[in-house]
């Protein structure tokens, strides 16, 4: 049974930019320059309507995007607060030991001693490092996504092995 998502959320249109229909996009990717390679995308979960990227530039940590046929601030305004999705085929190639967050959700989480901790529910993305939110029987645990604490992620077995320090699972 494959629970692979067919589309990934890569950003959110947070505002308009100027008067000619450009939009400001807050990226949900650790590689902001992946927007350079973006040609088509979908808005919210309407995967039947393709939108075409005319051009992209960057301003700080935001992507400034010109979308084909959006040529006024009024048209751009209608897209505000919509999420940008790309199809898996348009997703970027992953390096070894890299995974799409969407594919990791639902992994069973165990300690190195084989004790079940819970299920990976969410991945919080911070500048320093991601944090895994693991839902246990009684409570949720926050596990920093670094090799020291998460030595093994086995996508074939659908499990994550963690090596918690004292107090991490209290």
Indicate if 16 and 64 belong to the same structural domain.
yes
pLDDT tens, position by position, 90-126 = 766 666 666 777 788 899 999 999 999 999 998 887 7
- The whole domain housing 44 covers 7-89
Q: Is the pTM of this model over 0.75?
A: no
The mean predicted confidence, pLDDT, of the chain is 88
Asked if the structure places residue 1 within a domain, the reply is no
Enumerate residue ranges in the chain where pLDDT < 70.
Answer: 1-5, 91-98, 127
Asked if the structure places residue 154 within a domain, the reply is yes
The three-state DSSP-derived secondary structure of the chain is CCCCCCEEEEEEEEEEECCCCEEEEEECCCCHHHHHHCCEEEECCEEEEEEEEEEEEEECCEEEEEECCCCCHHHHHCCCCCEEEEEHHHCCCCCCCCCCHHHHCCCEEEECCCCEEEEEEEEECCCCCCEEEEECCCCEEEEECCCCCCCEEECCCCEEEECCCCCCCC
Indicate if 12 and 85 belong to the same structural domain.
yes
Question: In the chain, how many domains are there?
Answer: 2
């Amino acid at each position: 049974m494959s629970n692979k998502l067919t589309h990934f959320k890569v950003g959110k249109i947070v505002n308009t930019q100027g008067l000619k229909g450009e939009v400001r996009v807050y990226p949900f990717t650790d590689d902001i320059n992946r927007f350079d390679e973006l040609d088509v995308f979908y808005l919210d979960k309407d995967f039947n309507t393709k939108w075409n990227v005319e051009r992209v530039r960057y301003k700080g940590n935001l992507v400034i995007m010109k979308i084909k046929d959006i040529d006024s601030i009024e048209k751009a305004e209608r897209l505000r607060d919509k999420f940008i999705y790309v199809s898996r085929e348009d997703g970027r190639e992953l390096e070894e030991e890299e995974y799409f967050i969407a594919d990791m959700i639902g992994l069973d989480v165990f300690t190195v001693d084989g004790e079940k901790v819970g299920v990976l529910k969410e991945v919080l993305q911070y500048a320093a490092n991601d944090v895994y939110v693991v839902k246990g029987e009684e409570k949720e645990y926050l596990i920093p996504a670094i090799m020291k604490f998460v030595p093994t992620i086995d996508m074939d077995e659908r499990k994550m092995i963690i090596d918690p320090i004292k107090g991490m699972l209290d």
